[in-house]
Amino acid sequence: MGRVLDQLVTASYAIYNGDAMEVLPDLPDGSVHLSVYSPPFTGLYHYSSSERDLSNAGSYDAFFEMYGFFVEELARLTMPGRCSAVHCTDIPTGNSGCDAYTDFPGDIIRLHQRHGFGYVARHCIWKEPLAVRNRTMIKDLTHKTIVDDSTIGGVASADYLLIFRREGRNPVPVTHPQGFTAYYGAARPPADVLRYRSWPGNQIENRYSQWVWRQYASAVWDDIRGNLGQWDRRDHMAVLPYRQARDEEDEKHVHPLQLDVIRRVVDMRTNPGETVLTPFMGVGSEVYAAAELGRRGIGAELKPSYYRQAVKNLAALESGGPQQIELDLLEEAPADAEAS
């Protein structure tokens, strides 16, 4: 495969250390049932010094020109009628305290529509304001700004999970014969619905699955673990370990996508055994969640340090599962760790 530096292929996943644009062309047409990923947040973070890194495109327009090649390739790979989920946020135009935001999600939507994807959903993922301030260092997102001049006070912009559906008729329906059998989030299902979990009878009676569905079908997800603004041992599976993957030049507060977000879309939008793709793998979160839920994950990651951490995270899944990841996080998290 192209200029792949390293790879690891198992029965549950296949991951590659290399440019996704040199990995994706080797995959067959219509072979992907779902893609889930965070594209580089252009203008907000720089992930590496590589000229192949989209975060180094040079300008907003140049970023979208290059990103368009990825979306075009994903359209070729995605089975007709199946989905792609893109995690993104609004992008500030500067850091002076008086700057506006660029509608990054809107531009992503329009790009996908040009390449044969229909825009079908946007989930708003709540973020704790102080944690956003500490991670992004946006100057207008401080209490001091409100004290001094609240006209330039900022807001903790939400994350968004955009759902797109490839044009065409889905040849393999995604079914849930017993409804949703698991819930991924911080809320507690009411006690009187728990007895309906994995309900084998008429699904009209399945109060557990209906409760889960209401959480997932909401336009606002405020129950995602890992968004509480502080590191919490109860949220040990909020994100995969990542701090050891950082190089010296990395942005201080870059962090992976929360596993609850990935698990929800994988559980809802795919059948067991199907293929989930991420072209910007990072430390392996999307591949991990796919394999954990009985799907086959495929990921490509340009940066060697991120790829090496993905190998470790996926090895923990195979050897110890959540318990091993929990031990890794307990060793990794500093006493005053932030949700970053």
Per-residue pLDDT tens over the stretch 272-287 = 999 999 999 999 999 9
Q: What is the pLDDT of residue 255?
A: 65
Structure tokens at 134: 């500490």
Report the distance separating Cα 154 and Cα 129, nearest Å. Answer: 10
Query: Tokens 């990841």 belong to which residue?
Result: 325
Report the distance separating Cα 207 and Cα 116, nearest Å. Answer: 37
Per-residue pLDDT tens over the stretch 90-102 = 887 765 545 677 8
Beta bridge mates, 102: 91
Q: What is the pLDDT of residue 327?
A: 42
What's the mean per-residue pLDDT of the chain?
84
Query: Tokens 């996508």 belong to which residue?
Result: 257
Chain centroid to CA 298 = 14
Beta bridge mates, 159: 89, 125
Q: What is the pLDDT of residue 320?
A: 61
Beta bridge mates, 32: 78
Whether 213 and 226 have beta carbons less than 8 Å apart is answered as no
Task: Provide mean pLDDT across the span 156-170.
Answer: 95
Per-residue pLDDT tens over the stretch 104-143 = 999 999 999 999 999 999 999 998 888 778 777 777 888 8
The CA angle 120-64-89, to the nearest 5 degrees, is 55
Per-residue pLDDT tens over the stretch 9-62 = 999 999 999 999 999 999 999 999 999 999 987 554 555 555 566 666 668 888
Report the distance separating Cα 213 and Cα 97, nearest Å. Answer: 40
pTM of the model: 0.86
Whether 285 and 310 have beta carbons less than 8 Å apart is answered as no
Q: CATH number for the 6-332 domain, one of 3.30.420.280, 3.30.2320.80, 3.40.50.1000, 3.40.50.150?
A: 3.40.50.150
